[in-house]
Homo-oligomer: A and B are copies of this chain.
Amino acid sequence: MGKYTAPLRDMQFVLHELLNVEQELKALPAHADVDADTINQVLEEAGKFCSEVVFPLNQVGDREGCQYHDGEVKTPTGFKEAYRQYVEAGWPALACDPAHGGQGLPMLMNNALYEMLNSANQAWTMYPGLSHGAYECLHAHGTPEQQRLYLPKIVSGEWTGTMCLTEPHCGTDLGLLRTKAEPLADGSYSISGTKIFISAGEHDMAANIIHLVLARLPDAPPGTKGISLFVVPKFIPDADGNPGARNGVRCGSIEHKMGIHGNATCVMNLDNAQGWLVGEPNKGLNAMFIMMNAARLGVGMQGLGLTEVAYQNSLVYAKERLQMRSLTGPKATDKPADPIIVHPDVRRMLLTQKAYAEGARAFSYWTALQIDRELSHADESARKEAADLVALLTPVIKAFLTDNAFLCTNLGMQVYGGHGYIAEWGMEQYVRDARINMIYEGTNTIQSLDLLGRKVLGDMGAKLKKFGQLVQDFVEREGTREEMQEFVNPLADLGDKVQKLTMEIGMKAMSNQDEAGAAAVDYLRVVGHLVFAYFWARMARIALDKQSSGDTFYASKLATARFYFAKLLPETAYHIRAARAGAKSLMELDAELF
């Protein structure tokens, strides 16, 4: 059941009308010759692949799940074959370094690809998705020999990758990890320990699986300063770079989970597995953070993907399902009842999904473009500027988009009434799949602490000011246009409030760190809305300019912007109050009296 069509028109709007990507890429030597037509063709092709090959496997993947038997994992029917096609079409290489066989296209395009893949099938997409993290990590920190050995196979998709961080007693708190790495005579290491929650840790889709594993050297200092990173292949590459001897890293079991059933979540037992150090000893967490940041943006795209597909399917249902008459009198007089899209609250549920999907697309594509600028801009100050914005907004992408996606998949399901709760309609799967995105790669609480503690207060608001400047410039530029008042005024107002709120929390946190911890989650939602209000105001501006073109796309965009400002932005009134309420009411009760 269900359908997915890549939202190419809106993607093109964001890329070309909002972001002027062709122009922007001209400032990046590596991508200067990527033109709009190329981008559009690639995305159209990707969209077709997602709709036709990956989406039809979504429900079967959920129903069958992965099967574990004696250390091996069988993925659901069709997963392996779809992955073969994905590799053959060259999709894994899209945004990889040409030096290792990549196509060298912008990250932005990879991001758009991943939006569509996640709409089509999040569980399947996690297999190639995690490889990309391993690619980035080895690309940034691997020795030339490691790069030569692993990168071409990961880039081509022949091999996949994982990140092995979590252990039973430590997830958020990696300082507690116990996996040990003993040096061997040949310069490699013997690694032993147990890792859990390893997505795509074992499967039948690729010839080899390259694990990036955090472990401790014998002389390592305790805590996070004593963690090193190792590459631990399932099969040790032989002299020709082909999978050779089976390594001592084995899947002990897979988890039964709420959702993403098609992806194998593995317990990985390392029993004197041979590994090679990546980067410097005891600096493993730094190396891993490159992967984590990429992964956090990737999780944001999972949120966007699910929001979009839930919206598309609930929209179809809302137009078809006949139930009750409009409160203002019958609309479909030739039918026994009106389609439920006539009802205001059904429209609220649809428009919330639409506004959050389109807002997330604008925000995340813009952020991906900043990553390309960070990586490839000719000018160093532009690279630094972009890097700061990416660092600031990564936790917002991860947490705000996934919180919204959980809300939106639930609204999509709610539109279906009782049918939404029934598996065959496909809507409840989106809710179950969306739920993990608020947890993994750092819970959304951890994201909020990263935003408020590290990214905002950590540099006395310097990075936040950079984003604030974008908002202020826009407000000053557009503030005089009569028809932009309805967008610019609340945007400017929220910008001021965020500034005040930040200072207030900063002051309180100086005398009591718990004040930051108490405000962080509310604070992130307020910042998320500031970002969304900024992009919705920019999109409204374009729609106003073009609404007379006769293309109804702009009428739809404008109405969605108005809905966003009228019905969603007011959530900030709640979170500003809650953030300002401080830590006292959270901390005063003794733990024993709960």
Contacts and interface: CB of A to CB of B under 8 A. Distances in A.
Nearest to A343: B517
A60 interface: no
Contacts of A578: 566-567, 570-571
B587 A577 contact: no
A192 to B, nearest CB: 20
Contacts of A424: 256
A56 interface: no
B417 A443 contact: yes
Given A345-B518, A417-B171, A578-B567, A328 B589 contact: no
Given A439-B417, A573-B577, A589-B351, A514 B327 contact: yes
A440 B420 CA distance: 11
Interface in A400-422: 406, 410, 413-414, 417-418, 420-422
Interface stretch (A73-81, A242-250, A430-438): A430-438
A438 B414 contact: yes
B559 A589 contact: yes
Interface string A471-499: 00000000000000000000000000000
A302 interface: no
A464 to B, nearest CB: 20
A18 to B, nearest CB: 19
B256 A594 contact: no
A379 interface: no
Contacts of A593: 552, 555-556, 559
Interface residues of A, number: 99
Contacts of A563: 585-586, 589
A591 B514 contact: no
A552 B592 CA distance: 10
Contacts of A346: 445
A82 interface: no
Contact of A571 (B172, B552, B559, B574): B574
A308 to B, nearest CB: 13
A167 B335 CA distance: 17
A223 to B, nearest CB: 10
Interface in A541-564: 552, 555-556, 559-560, 562-563
A173 B573 CA distance: 36
Contacts of A175: 337
Interface stretch (A36-44, A47-55, A318-326): A318-326
A583 B344 contact: yes
Contact of A418 (B197, B327, B343, B410): B197
A208 to B, nearest CB: 26
A92 to B, nearest CB: 27
A462 interface: no
A418 B171 contact: yes
B574 A423 contact: no
A585 B559 contact: yes
A67 to B, nearest CB: 16
Contacts of A512: 328
A368 interface: no
A255 interface: yes
A578 B572 CA distance: 11
Given A559-B588, A586-B344, A422 B257 contact: yes
A170 interface: yes
A423 B257 CA distance: 5
Given A324-B173, A514-B328, A588-B559, A448 B345 contact: yes
Contact of A258 (B322, B432, B570, B594): B432
Contact of A566 (B315, B555, B585): B585
Contact of A439 (B336, B418, B444): B418
A326 B518 CA distance: 12
A583 B556 CA distance: 16
Given A176-B336, A443-B414, A559-B585, A258 B327 contact: no
B420 A439 contact: yes
A175 B336 CA distance: 10
A418 B432 contact: no
Given A328-B512, A343-B517, A593-B559, A255 B422 contact: yes
Contacts of A449: 345
A269 B417 CA distance: 21
A590 to B, nearest CB: 8
**Centre residue among A315, A422, A574, A577 by max chain B CB count within 10 A:** A574
A339 interface: yes
A344 B559 contact: no
A354 interface: yes
A409 to B, nearest CB: 11
A567 B581 CA distance: 7
A176 B337 contact: yes
Interface in A259-295: 259
B570 A327 contact: no
A521 interface: yes
A517 B589 contact: no
Contacts of A130: none
A350 interface: yes
A108 interface: no
A428 interface: yes
13 contacts: A176-B322, A197-B418, A255-B422, A257-B421, A315-B594, A344-B514, A347-B589, A414-B443, A421-B435, A563-B586, A566-B578, A566-B582, A572-B574
